[in-house]
Chain A
Amino acid sequence: MLPELAVALALLALTGYVVLGGADFGGGFWDLTAGGAERGAPVRALIKRSMSPVWEANHVWLIFLLVVLWTAFPEAFGSIMSTLAVPIFLAALGIVLRGGAFALKGEAATIAEARLLGATFALSSVLVPFFLGTAAGAIAAGEVPVGNASGGAFSSWTGPTPILVGLLSVATGAHLAAVFLGADAERAGRPGLVRAFRTRALTSGAAAGALAIAGLAVLNSDAPDLFDGLTSGLGLACVAASALAGLVTLALEWTERFELARFSAALAVAAIVAGWAAAQEPYLLPPGLTVTEAAAPDATLAALLIACGAGMLVLVPALIWLFRLAVSGRLAYDEEPRP
C-alpha cells in the first residue's frame, strides 16, 4: 500500500513537471521559431509575460520528483542517475542555460545581447525536454539495470524508444505551450497573437498525435513489453483517454474555446504519463526491479507521505493563488504596457 502511494506521489510530481514545466519549455520552442527580431517580437513578449511569474514554481516539480525518488526508491534513483548520467547531465546543463538566460535576458541592453541570451534560452528549452525524455524512454525500454552505472552509458538512451520519447516530450511541450499561450493572448486582448497560437496549437497537436501513433509502431518492434502494456488493460484506457483528450483539444481550438482547451490539453499529456506507469506496472525499473522491491522501508515512506500531505495543504492554495493572479494578468513587469 505505502509503496503504491509513494509511486502515486512521484507520478504527481512527474505529471506536474511534464505539463507545467513542459509548457515552459514549449514556450522556448515557440521563441526559437518566432522568426526575426522584429517579426517575432510580439510572440516573444507574450511568452516572457506568461512565463516570468510561474517558471520557477513550475520547475520545482522536477526537484520534487528527484526528492521523492531518492527518498522512497533510493536504489532505483542511484541506478538511474549513474546509468543515464550522460542525458541527465546534459539536461541539467540545459536547465542552467535555460533558466539563467531567461532570467537575465530581461536586463539585456543591446540587440546582440538579447539575441545571444534569447537564443540560449530557446535552444536549451528544446534540448532539456529531449534529454529528459530520452532518460524516461530508457527506463521504459528496460535499459536501466540495478547497479552503479551498470547499463550502457550511451547505448541505454540512444535506441529508437528513448529517442522517440525525447521527441514526443518536445512536441507535447510545444503543443501545451501553444494552447496555454493562445488562452493568455485572448485574455490579454491580442487577437493577432490568438490567431498565431491557434495555428501553432493545431499544427503541434496534429504533429504530436502523429508522432505518438508512429511511436506505437516503433515500440511494437523495439520495446514489445511496453507496447503490450500500452495496448491492453489500464494502459490502453490511458492511451485512449489521451487520444480522446487530444482530439477534444483540437476541436476546442478549432472552435476558439481557448480556456477549456487548456484543461483538455493538460489531460491528454497527463494521460500519457499515467499510461506509461500502467504499462510497466508492477515494475519501477523493468524488466527486473518491482515497485515493492525498490521501495524504502515503511517508516520512511510513512514519514515522507505525512510530510508531503501536510506540505500539500500549504502548497495547493498557494499554487492556486499564483495561477489565478498570473492568468488574470495581475503579475507582470510594470515597465510593460498593460493591455
Chain B
Amino acid sequence: MIDGALGGSVNQEYLLQARQMQAMSFMVHIPLVCFGIAFPAMVLFVEGLWLRTGDPLYKLLAKRWSKAMVLLFAVGVVTGTILSFEMGLLWPEFMATFGDVFGLAFGVEGFSFFIEAIFIAIYVYGWDRLPPRVHLAAGVPMVIAGITGSFMVIAVNGWMNQPTGFRIQGGDVVDIHPWRALLNDNFWHEFVHMYLAGFIVAGFLVAGVYAFGWLKGRRERHQRVALVVALTVAALAAPAQLLVGDWAARTVAVNQPVKLAAFEGLKDTTKGAPFSVAGGIEIPDLLSLLAFHDPSATVKGLNIVPPEDRPPVGLVKFSFRTMVVIGSALAALGAWFLLTWWRRFRLPASRWFYRAVVAAGPLSFVALIAGWVTTEVGRQPWVVYEVMRTDEAVTGAGGIPVGFVALGLVYAGLVVIAAVMLRRLGRQPFHAS
C-alpha cells in the first residue's frame, strides 16, 4: 500500500538484530530520560528549600545532586545522539518516507535539548558564582525543557501508533499536516504515562540509594532529607500511574485492538473476556472490565487480522504483566510511605520498608522497560501502525551484527564506568562536597 521514498523493501538478513540494537539503545537511554525529566525538579525543590530556610544543608544536598545530574545528562546526551543516528542508520526508508510528516516534533525537541544543555551547564557550573535567586531561576528552563523535549519524542511515538496528518495516494504520502500529525490522539496518555514514569524511576532509584545507606546505618539528617524528597516524588507518582495506565489501556483497546488482544493473548473476539493471572487462573470478564469499564463488553481478538499482522504475543503478554505487577507493587509501597508520613509525620520504622525501597529502584526500571516493550513490540509488525511494516523500513546496508556488538561493548563500558563514578560521587564526605 505504500511504496517507500527510497524504492521500497530491501532484503535485510538481520532485521531482528536491527530491532534488538534499537531496543538496546533505548534501554540504556530511557532511564536517563527519566532523570532528565525528574531530577532537575528535585534539585530545584531542594535549592528552593535552602533559599526559603537558609539552612546550608539543603544547599549542600542540591549541589551534590546537581553533580550527579550533569553526569547523567552527559551520558544521556551521547546515548540520545546514538538514537538520532540510528533513526537513519537502521530505518532509512521509514525516515525517508515519513520524516516530513513527524519531523517537526523533533525540531521542537532539538530546541528543548539545546535549552536543557545550556541551562544545565549554567546551573551546575554557576553555583556560588551567580546570585542565589538568579541561579535558582537558571534552573527553571532546564525543568521546562525536560518536559517539552520528552513531550515531543512521545508525540512521534504516539504518531507511530496512531498515524495521522497525511493520506496515502497511489503509494505516496500526500496531503501532509505536520501539526496534526504531532497532536495525535494517542500521544496524550503516552506522554502523561511516561512523565509519571520519569518521576517514579528517578524517585525510587535515588531513594533506593539512600534506603540502602539507611539499612547500613547511615542516617544523618541530610540522608533523611534526601530520602524523604525522593520518596515523596515517587510515592505521589506511583499511585497516580495506575489511573493513567487504565486510561492508556482503554485508549489502546479502541485504537489498537490487536495490541490489546496481545496483552492477554486473546485469540478470538470475546464478549466478557477474561484476564489470566499467575498460575493459569482466569478471572472472568476482567479484560472487558479493564479495557472498556464494562464486564460484558466485547473485546476484539487477534483473529481480526491475519497471522502475519499479529505481534509476538508471548513477549507482549509477559511484558504487560511485568509492568502491571511491578507498577501495582510500587503504588502500594508509595501508599505505605504517604500514609505513615501523613498520620505520624515520620518515615516508616520497619526495616522491610527500606528493603522494599532498595528493590523498588531496579524494579521501577524493569517496569519502565517492560512498558516500552509492551507498546513497541505490541505495535509489530508495523513501524507505522497499519501503514508501514518494520521490514519495509529497515536499511539495506550490511554489517548490522558487527555494529550491534560494537555498540553493546561501548555501552557496557559506559554503564560500568558511569556507575563507578556515581558511586564515588556518593562516597565523597557530605560536608566537603
Min CB distance A334 to B, Å, is: 6
Question: Complex Cα distance A325/B115, Å?
Answer: 15
Chain B residues 164 to 206 lying within 8 A of chain A, measured CB to CB, are: 176-179
Across the interface, do B125 and A89 meet the contact criterion of CB distance under 8 Å?
no
Say yes or no: A79 contacts B96, CB within 8 Å: yes
Bound Cα distance A152, B104 (Å)? 31
Q: Does B157 contact A (CB under 8 A)?
A: no
A318 pairs with B178, CB closer than 8 A: no
Of B71, B77, B97, B113, most buried by chain A (CB within 10 Å of CB) is B77
Binary interface encoding of chain B residues 210-254 relative to chain A, with 1 for a CB under 8 A from any of its CBs, else 0: 000000000000000000000000000000000000000000000
Identify the closest chain B residue to A146 (Cβ): B6
Whether, in the assembled complex, B99 has its beta carbon less than 8 Å from a beta carbon of chain A, the answer is yes
**Do B395 and A149 touch (CB < 8 A)?**
yes
Separation of A60 and B70 alpha carbons in the complex (Å): 15
In whole Å, how far is B171's beta carbon from the nearest beta carbon of chain A? 15
Q: Is B272 an interface residue (CB 8 A)?
A: no
B95 at the interface (CB under 8 A from A): yes
Pick the residue among A85, A148, A307, A333 that contacts B125 (CB under 8 A). A333
Scan residues 284-339 of chain A and give those whose CB is less than 8 A from a CB of chain B: 296-297, 299-300, 303-304, 307-308, 311, 314-315, 318-319, 321-322, 325-326, 330-334
Complex alpha-carbon distance, A280 and B153, angstroms: 34
Of the candidates B88, B108, B113, the one having the most CB atoms from chain A within 10 angstroms of its own CB is B88
Tell me the minimal C-beta distance from A19 to chain B in angstroms.
16
Decide: B424 and A109 in contact? CB cutoff 8 A: yes
CB distance from A66 to the nearest CB of B (A): 5
Which residues on B sit within 8 Å (CB–CB) of A303? 104, 178-179
Q: Is A4 an interface residue (CB 8 A)?
A: no
With the chains together, A88 CA to B117 CA distance in Å? 23
Q: Which of B77, B100, B106, B107 contacts A56 (CB 8 A)?
A: B77
User: Are A104 and B417 touching (Cβ within 8 A)?
Assistant: yes
Indicate if A68 sits at the interface (CB-CB under 8 A).
yes
B92 at the interface (CB under 8 A from A): yes
Q: Which of B376-417 contact A (CB under 8 A)?
A: 395-399, 403, 406-407, 410-411, 414, 417
- The reply to whether A63 and B421 contact each other, CB–CB distance below 8 Å, is no
Contact B397 A70 (CB under 8 A): no
CA distance A309 to B82 in the complex (A): 26
Q: Is B339 an interface residue (CB 8 A)?
A: no
User: Quick one: CB contact mask for B409-433 with A, threshold 8 Å, 1 for yes?
Assistant: 0110010011001001100000000
Report the Cα distance A102→B79, complex, angstroms.
14
Verify B125–A53 contact, CB threshold 8 A.
yes
Q: Chain A residues near B141 (CB, 8 Å)?
A: 318
Specify which chain B residues have a CB less than 8 angstroms from the CB of A148 in the assembled complex. 4, 6-7, 10, 92-93, 96, 395-396
Q: Verify A96–B6 contact, CB threshold 8 A.
A: no
Q: Which of A70, A83, A311 meets B103, CB within 8 Å?
A: A70
Contact at B96–A68, with CB atoms within 8 Å? no
Q: Establish whether residues B84 and A67, one from each chain, have CB atoms under 8 Å apart when the complex forms.
A: yes
Query: How far apart sit A27 and B127, CA to CA, in the bound complex (Å)?
Result: 25
Is the CB–CB distance between B177 and A331 below 8 Å? no
Residues on B with beta carbons closer than 8 Å to the beta carbon of A38 = none
Q: Is the CB of B114 within 8 A of A74?
A: no
Tell me which of B103, B395, B396, B410 contacts A71 (CB under 8 A): B103
The binding surface of chain B is classed by DSSP as: helix
A132, chain B: closest CB distance, angstroms: 11
- B115-140 interface (Cβ within 8 A of A): 115, 117-122, 125-130
Mark contacts of A77-111 with chain B using CB atoms, 8 A cut-off: 1 yes-contact digit, 0 otherwise: 11111110110110011011111101110010100
Contact B113 A63 (CB under 8 A): yes
The smallest beta-carbon distance between A126 and chain B, in angstroms, is: 17
Min CB gap A30→B, angstroms: 21
Could you tell me if A300 and B6 are in contact, using CB atoms closer than 8 angstroms? no
Contact A82 B395 (CB under 8 A): yes
Q: Does B324 contact A (CB under 8 A)?
A: no
Nearest A residue (CB) for B395: A82
Which residue of chain B lies nearest to A332 when distances are taken between CB atoms in the complex? Answer: B125
* Contact between chains at A67 and B107 (CB < 8 Å): yes
**Interface presence of A57 (CB below 8 A):** yes
Which residue on chain B has the smallest CB distance to residue A52?
Answer: B125
Given contacts A95-B81, A99-B78, contact A68 B107 (CB under 8 A): yes
**In the complex with contacts A104-B418, A147-B7, A321-B122, A74-B398 CB distance below 8 A:** no
Tell me which of B106, B128, B411 has the highest count of chain A C-beta atoms within 10 A of its own C-beta. B106
Contacts of A332 in B (CB 8 A): 125, 129
Contacting pair B103 A92 (CB below 8 A)? no
Cβ contact of A79, chosen from B6, B75, B177, cutoff 8 A: B6
Chain A residues whose C-beta falls within 8 Å of the C-beta of B395 in the assembled complex: 81-82, 85, 148-149
* Bound-state Cα–Cα, A330 to B127, Å: 10
Determine if B410 and A96 form an interchain contact, defined as CB atoms under 8 angstroms apart: yes
Whether B103 and A67, one on each chain, are in contact in the complex, defined by CB atoms closer than 8 angstroms, is: yes
Query: Of A67, A83, A96, A109, which contacts B106 at CB under 8 A?
Result: A67
Q: In the complex, what's the smallest C-beta–C-beta distance from B127 to chain A, in angstroms?
A: 6
Q: Does B14 contact A (CB under 8 A)?
A: no
A303 to B127, CA, bound (A): 38
Determine whether A59 belongs to the interface, using a CB cutoff of 8 Å to chain B. yes
Contacting pair B108 A307 (CB below 8 A)? yes
B362 within 8 A of A: no
Most B CB contacts (10 A, CB to CB) among A68, A311, A333 go to: A311
Would you call B341 an interface residue if the criterion is a C-beta within 8 Å of the partner chain's C-beta atoms? no
CB distance from B415 to the nearest CB of A (A): 10
B113–A330 CB distance below 8 A:
no
Is A260 interfacial (CB-CB < 8 Å)? no
A59, A67, A77, A307, most chain B CB atoms within 10 A? A67
Other-chain contact of A107, B75, B178, B410, B425 (Cβ < 8 Å): B425
Question: With A78-B6, A103-B74, A315-B111 given, can you name 8 additional A-B contacts, CB distance below 8 Å?
Answer: A56-B120, A57-B118, A60-B114, A63-B84, A71-B99, A81-B88, A149-B396, A332-B129
Q: Lowest 5 CB-CB distances: which A-B pairs, in order?
A: A71-B103, A81-B88, A78-B96, A74-B99, A103-B74
Q: Which residues of A contact B (CB under 8 A)?
A: 52-54, 56-57, 59-60, 62-64, 66-68, 70-72, 74-75, 77-83, 85-86, 88-89, 92-93, 95-100, 102-104, 107, 109, 117, 146-150, 153, 296-297, 299-300, 303-304, 307-308, 311, 314-315, 318-319, 321-322, 325-326, 330-334
| 25 intermolecular pairs with C-beta atoms under 8 Å apart | A53-B121, A66-B87, A70-B95, A70-B103, A71-B100, A72-B100, A78-B92, A78-B95, A80-B88, A92-B82, A93-B410, A95-B78, A99-B78, A100-B418, A102-B74, A103-B75, A148-B96, A149-B92, A149-B398, A153-B398, A299-B178, A300-B101, A307-B104, A311-B108, A331-B126
